[in-house]
Structures are given as C-alpha cells and as structure tokens.
Amino acid sequence: MRSTYLFTSESVSEGHPDKVADQISDAIVDLFLSKDPEARIACETLTTTQRVVLAGEIRCRGVYENGAWAPGAEEEIERTVRETVKRIGYEQDGFHWQTFAFHNHLHGQSAHIAQGVDASAEKDEGAGDQGIMFGFACDETPDLMPATLDYSHKILARLAADRHAGTAPFLEPDAKSQVTLRFENGRPVAATAIVVSTQHKPGYDQGEKEAELHAYVKKVVAEVLPQGFVTNETVFHINPTGSFEIGGPDGDAGLTGRKIIVDTYGGAAPHGGGAFSGKDPTKVDRSAAYVSRYLAKNIVAAGLARRCTIQLSYAIGVSEPLSLYVDTHGTGTVDEARIEAVLPTLVRLTPKGIRTHLGLNKPIYGPSAAYGHFGRTPEGDFFPWERTDLVEKLKAALA
C-alpha cells in the first residue's frame, strides 16, 4: 500500500430512493422471518413518484403456501411497506406514505431452486446461489471500518437523528455525503474535502436560510470527524447544485441493491457483486458476506493484522464453500495459510453453519438497510456479525 494518499467514500441517507427500496425489502424479510424462521425471501422493491412496487420469490408457512396467500397476508404486507416509508419521514406531494400506489408482485419460489437449497436425508442445505463474497476490517476507526466510509455514514445518521428529533426542521429525508481524507504513513490525518447534499424545506437555498443550513452541516461534520481533521484547508461542497427541494423517489427512482458499496466498505475493499437487502440468510450473498466480515473483524480485533480481507466462494445447491482466502495486506503477525486452516474449525462455513453460528434466522435486518451493514454496534440479536467473540479462540489457535 502507498503510505501517503487521498481516499474517498460516499454514503446515502435512509431517505435516498435506493435506500427506501432497501428498507422496504428488508422490512418484508423481517415480516416473513417473524412468521416463519425458515422462510425463503427474495424481495425486490421499486420506488418512484407516488408508487411502490414489490417483486420476487417467496415461501413462508402461514403467509404464502401452495401458490396462495393466507387471509390478511397481502394487507399486512402493504401495511408494513407504508409504515416503513412513514418511519423514514416521507409526507410529500410526490411521495407520501399514506397515498402512494402500491403493487405487490411477490410469488412462489421456483421448485428447482428449492430442491437445491433445501436440506434432505441425502444432503445438507445448499447455498442459495453461486458467487463470491468478501469481508474486510481495518484499524482506521474503533469500528474497525474504513475511516472515509465510517464518517460518511455517521454524518448522515446525525442529520437524520436531528431531523427526527425536530432540532433540524429544515431537513427532508433524502441526503448524500462524501468524505475525502488524507492518509500519511497509512493513517487518516485530515479531511481535504467534504460533500453533503441534503434535501431541504423551501427557501433554504438562498440568503440567511441557506447560510443557516450550511453552518449546521459544517457543525455536524466537525463534531463527527476526529478533532483536528477539519481545518481551514478543508473544502466543503454543500448542496453544490443549489436547490434540493425535490428528492427521494419523486426526484429519482429507487431500486433494491443499487448501493452495495455504501452497504459494505466504501470502495476500500473488494465486493462480490451481490446485494444484501431483500434476501433471507440462506442466500450466501448476504450470510457469507456477513460471516466474512465477522471473521475479518475478529482477526483485526485479535491483533493478528491491521487490515484483513477474506473471500469465500459457493456453488448453488452445494453446502461447503469452494474456497477460503485470507489476505492481511502485509500487516499480519501470522501466516495467512495458518489462518485459513483455523477459521473453518471455529465457524462451520456452510449456509446452515453460518446461520446457526450468527443466529440469522430472525427478523433483525431492518436496521441494517441504512447507514451500512458493517461497523455497527451489536445489540441483542442485531448485528451479530459485528461481535468480536472469536478473539480469544483465534489467539489460542494461532499462538
């Protein structure tokens, strides 16, 4: 790695149209898992002006069986979707939680996919798809995440918290951030550029009101970033196009899974290409990416490396991973091949082994659908892949 360089990551708020779609899809995942922990869900969402469309494949006891909906199930789905949009805060003419047109095109899962995934007397549960999944951790922040992405997320989460609390009443739900940091000797030391575009109430694009919004954003950035990172040389671009009154699904269509770099590591690490939201944990796009992060984070937390990338690969219908790759980017204290040999002894890396170890068959996915799936605080059943409970086992096994 270079020792001195600039690096940039971006994030988007819970009100960004793609993130609205992600949150709706994960609300459906949580709804079905609350009814049936073994439910199969692949839910895609489209959002646009005054319209939400669901599509995808499902199987859920008590909700959708034998090609038919249970009584009241479709109404509960619509209610869940509207409550999700209401929580985000959309009550605009172009997108209002009470009045948008709703279309549900979810249908039964393919029997050919089911026969490969489901366990039987002859075989273990297979992966829900082929693919490659990556996990990453580094010691740039206490969350063991890339600093540029971590701060991008936290800026927008703070704006949303202030909006919900009423302390920033001029804000609307849609927003984007971008943080560029200067690294010296491989460590972040200063912010060279900050971009924040936030939807706002009418009138906050000129005069004193515009100045108030800009001052508020700069204050949030200064409070989120480490002390001394914002200097007189930091360049701010706040709503650089000028007015940002029309936003969210009214300003731009949203789709599930279009913000996978925001969801993961902000471009600081590879991404396998599969989205997370809208998928139950038999889909290794989601569960294997989570366990890869879990393992990489525990390796860094154990002091075995300052940076760690892990890759897993799977074939549809096959339970065991095809490969496991560990790269500590020259920062490791233990040979990567030894780590590769130890990890499968600590966590069984089959789809069922991952789901069991991390407790993924629960309605825990809604909070992950905005502000990143990684670098979050594990609380109760939520974000179990962020736990560092393998640290002592790793140290003992690799001593």
Q: Could you tell me which residues are annotated as the binding site for Mg(2+)?
A: 18
> Which of 7, 10, 16, 27 is labelled catalytic?
16
CA–CA–CA angle 42, 47, 53 (5° rounding): 55
Summarize the annotated binding site as residue ranges: 16, 18, 44, 57, 109, 174-176, 252, 258-259, 275, 279, 283
> Which of 44, 125, 140, 210 is labelled catalytic?
44
To the query of whether residue 263 is one of the catalytic residues in this protein, the response is no
> Which of 40, 59, 163, 259 is labelled catalytic?
259
> Which of 10, 18, 30, 143 is labelled catalytic?
18
Distances in whole angstroms, Cα of residue 137 to Cα of each of 1, 124, 267: 15, 30, 13
> Which of 172, 263, 285, 336 is labelled catalytic?
285
> Which of 153, 283, 297, 355 is labelled catalytic?
283
> Which of 76, 139, 252, 320 is labelled catalytic?
252
To the query of whether residue 129 is one of the catalytic residues in this protein, the response is no
> Which of 176, 286, 357, 373 is labelled catalytic?
176
Summarize the annotated binding site for ATP as residue ranges: 16, 174-176, 252, 258-259, 275, 279
> Which of 153, 163, 258, 297 is labelled catalytic?
258
To the query of whether residue 244 is one of the catalytic residues in this protein, the response is yes
Using an 8 Å Cβ cutoff, are 110 and 57 in contact? yes
Using an 8 Å Cβ cutoff, are 191 and 229 in contact? yes
Residue type, 313: S
Q: What is the spatial order of strands in the sheet that 235-238 belongs to?
A: 5-12, 171-184, 187-200, 235-238
> Which of 55, 70, 222, 253 is labelled catalytic?
253
To the query of whether residue 176 is one of the catalytic residues in this protein, the response is yes
Using an 8 Å Cβ cutoff, are 43 and 278 in contact? yes
> Which of 19, 59, 154, 163 is labelled catalytic?
19
To the query of whether residue 285 is one of the catalytic residues in this protein, the response is yes
Phi, psi angles (nearest 5°) of residue 396: -65, -45
To the query of whether residue 393 is one of the catalytic residues in this protein, the response is no
CA–CA–CA angle 130, 135, 136 (5° rounding): 155
> Which of 82, 153, 200, 279 is labelled catalytic?
279
Summarize the annotated binding site for L-methionine as residue ranges: 57, 109, 252, 283
To the query of whether residue 122 is one of the catalytic residues in this protein, the response is no
To the query of whether residue 16 is one of the catalytic residues in this protein, the response is yes
Bridge-based pairing of strands 91-92 and 5-12 is unpaired
To the query of whether residue 111 is one of the catalytic residues in this protein, the response is no
> Which of 244, 276, 374, 383 is labelled catalytic?
244
Beta strand spans in the chain (E): 5-12, 40-48, 51-59, 64-65, 68-69, 91-92, 95-96, 101-108, 131-138, 171-184, 187-200, 235-238, 254-255, 307-314, 323-327
To the query of whether residue 395 is one of the catalytic residues in this protein, the response is no
Beta strand spans in 109-159 (E): 131-138
**Strand pairing partners for 238?**
196
Summarize the annotated binding site for K(+) as residue ranges: 44
At 91, is the secondary structure helix, strand, or coil? strand
Residue type, 21: A
Residues acting as catalytic residues: 16, 18-19, 44, 57, 176, 244, 252-253, 258-259, 279, 283, 285
